Structure 1
């Protein structure tokens, strides 16, 4: 059985009679999100002490910076549409399984990402959230493990667009407004801090491509010769690609730069599995991935998308007219390595049948790889964690299912969740794709 969730009343802030708009917002985020986080931690094997520590951090350092709660009645448009999720919810949570060389069943790590949205300040314009990021970071960074903000301090002036020269107009997806996300890898009672820059606003203001902006930023860092070689391999691959690959974000770990990874996110509008193989293998030049290593990825791809086993790998998924349609990838650079590690983000929220079929396909795949949750079934824990969701009747709870492959052929599989707190309606695909 899953460890019993902490009672709801423990999530309510002390002195709740002294309600201001801000404390009501914070109380909303605590009441909606801490039970989800608690169940996810319990299913990952966290102890009660570790879970309470992570929930306390969330309450003190995260929920005050998630912005205004959704309106109780009527259309649930967010006051700030975060590019974090399609409906504008400024947080995304995940379970991540990493295989190793032992025969032990593997439990997942819990992570989550946020866009900090502090209450409006006179320092903020309607199209900027720079101040929200500043006040969040002052509090959260001191509560994370081995934090080193050297790269953040070097790159923020390059990658963050200030209020006074922010591009005019707003976007329906948040891509023009959102500039920076923060993420936490939860490790027992500790947290690893990561940062991600969304490059749209700054590149538009500078009238340059996002690839040029990214290369300009990375040139500020003192990278070793191996990482510089890997970066040049990435740039050559992007520039020689037969189709435009859309650069999206630059991320890194906020630790000692000698240990930090650099992660470059980009999107391809091509959705056939053959194209996935080409990009994952750097056009066949990757030291990490060969065609044989991609067979488990093919199994995962067909499982979570409920594809007919006979569907050709050259066949594209149905076209979707959405900003986040297509396939997302990241290339990871590590100190001391000329190799580029790749990860594919399968956007199941666009191409799955419904959340139940996605969960069914992923659950079967995880069992075949000796990975699991602690004392619970994947589908059942989703139903308990999101009891108001009908998994069979909609898409959107699962956002991505991702896969990375190590040199040894071991997989890292991650499933991402959107709490959908601004979503008023859900969509679904009516039937599987045929051959």
Structure 2
């Protein structure tokens, strides 16, 4: 890490002093590297010292010793490669730009990993789950677990033989967690993968995802109009090419939880993005077109007025556009969010930052743009940012009811060789 000021790491250093005990060398190294990166991000995002300390202590006590073995020579050699990021890292940060010039919210997603995950002792990373959940509930006593337990049970590995369930051609991740570092309390989400159950029951992933929602506690037909609208869209022949990935929930009371279905589309024109954001014309929010116009201006800023030509063709498991469709029980219409994988379609991370600057400047926003740029430069260095892409993974965009765009930047933590 380059050019780090003492004040940026004061909370991180205080945690190191106050919480001297670590479960293992891996625990220590995860905090030394990824925890340090989190401290720099929190500082640059304008979090108070107390908030920095609280969130870093949470990361140290709960997360850092549940990320598996630390990759001393790169993630490619790890026995368990997380689907969280393309290189197998089990952590992804995000910077939610908020509304107007409000202070951003920092979030991160993780896959809990046991120290023996991917070996003959734990080939599917199943041993860490119960203990991590127990620690999580203790750390966040207001956590809503009713739906967590339902979806965990519904999506659990259904293979008769654990070795037969291993997919050597794709990922074997089964659950992710995410944390929004809002003040005064951290909120949590969980993500579930339908692949195992779909294979075991010879059903499509979408069928499995739909069944999971229909059978959830407090769910009934009268509360699933938004799901019916999405099902109508997904059953359209024009949507036959969509690839379904996972389901997410907020870990709160089920009546307040958002359900999100994630899916991928390999088409990369803006018109394709707009069509999916409108659910093929089924979504009729009065300000939706305003938001789409704003999204096009961001698209043009990121891709140099590319027009409606497809982006450069990329053959990769995570190429194309990623989306989620989200709703609560009782909602009439779902909301679609697009995740633009800039790691595949931008020539450098520096150009992603420039694109964001251009967009925010044209909208008289971006008070924290300099802070974001400073954080990226501190973590990775300007030479690395200009040399190529891959650090910033997605730019996530959804349209608020008033037509404004909600933007979230996603990025990987520094690799050990970068720190």
- Cα 1:3–1:122, aligned 2, differ >3 Å: closer, same or farther? closer
- Structure 1 residues 105-146: Cα deviation after superposition (integer angstroms, max 9, x where no partner): 222111100000022289985531122122111102222263
Residue equivalent to 2:206: 211
- Cα 1:215–1:125, aligned 2, differ >3 Å: closer, same or farther? farther
Residue equivalent to 1:80: 80
Q: Name which of 409, 413, 418 aligns with 2:412.
A: 418
- SS in structure 1 opposite 2:338? strand
Write the distance in 1 (CA, Å) between the matches of 2:145 and 2:186.
15
- Cα 1:121–1:349, aligned 2, differ >3 Å: closer, same or farther? closer
Contact 2:258 2:327 in 1 (8 A): yes
Write the distance in 1 (CA, Å) between the matches of 2:144 and 2:273.
34
Residue equivalent to 1:291: 289
Contact 1:347 1:399 in 2 (8 A): yes
Residue equivalent to 1:53: 54
- Structure 1 residues 193-224: Cα deviation after superposition (integer angstroms, max 9, x where no partner): 10000222332232211001111111112226
Residue equivalent to 1:44: 45
Q: Name which of 353, 358, 368 aligns with 2:352.
A: 358
Determine whether 1:4 maps to 2:7: yes
- Cα 1:86–1:232, aligned 2, differ >3 Å: closer, same or farther? same
Determine whether 1:340 maps to 2:337: no
Write the distance in 2 (CA, Å) between the matches of 1:44 and 1:385.
14
Q: Measure how far apart 1:24 and its partner are.
A: 1.0
Structure 1 runs not aligned, ≥5 long: 425-435
- Structure 1 residues 43-71: Cα deviation after superposition (integer angstroms, max 9, x where no partner): 22211011101000100000000000113
Residue equivalent to 2:257: 260
Write the distance in 2 (CA, Å) between the matches of 1:188 and 1:124.
42
Q: Measure how far apart 1:227 and its partner are.
A: 3.8
Contact 2:117 2:124 in 1 (8 A): no
Residue equivalent to 1:152: 148
Q: Measure how far apart 1:88 and its partner are.
A: 0.2
Map 1:100-249 onto structure 2 (within 5 A).
105-120=101-116, 126-144=122-140, 146-161=142-157, 165-166=161-162, 167-171=164-168, 175=171, 177-221=172-216, 222-223=218-219, 227-242=223-238, 243-249=240-246
Contact 1:349 1:396 in 2 (8 A): yes
- Give the TM-score taking structure 1 as reference length: 0.86
Contact 2:51 2:183 in 1 (8 A): yes
Contact 1:198 1:250 in 2 (8 A): yes
Write the distance in 2 (CA, Å) between the matches of 1:10 and 1:389.
30
Map 1:320-335 onto structure 2 (within 5 A).
320-335=314-329
- Cα 1:284–1:375, aligned 2, differ >3 Å: closer, same or farther? closer
- Over the aligned positions, Cα root-mean-square deviation in angstroms equals 2.8
Bigger shift: 354-363 or 386-395?
A: 386-395
Write the distance in 2 (CA, Å) between the matches of 1:244 and 1:165.
31
Determine whether 1:312 maps to 2:307: yes
Residue equivalent to 1:35: 36
Residue equivalent to 1:433: none
Q: Measure how far apart 1:387 and its partner are.
A: 3.6
Greater helix share, 1 or 2? 2
Write the distance in 2 (CA, Å) between the matches of 1:260 and 1:372.
30
Q: Name which of 244, 248, 253 aligns with 1:251.
A: 248
Write the distance in 2 (CA, Å) between the matches of 1:389 and 1:112.
25
Contact 1:11 1:34 in 2 (8 A): no
- Give the TM-score taking structure 2 as reference length: 0.89
Q: Measure how far apart 1:422 and its partner are.
A: 7.5
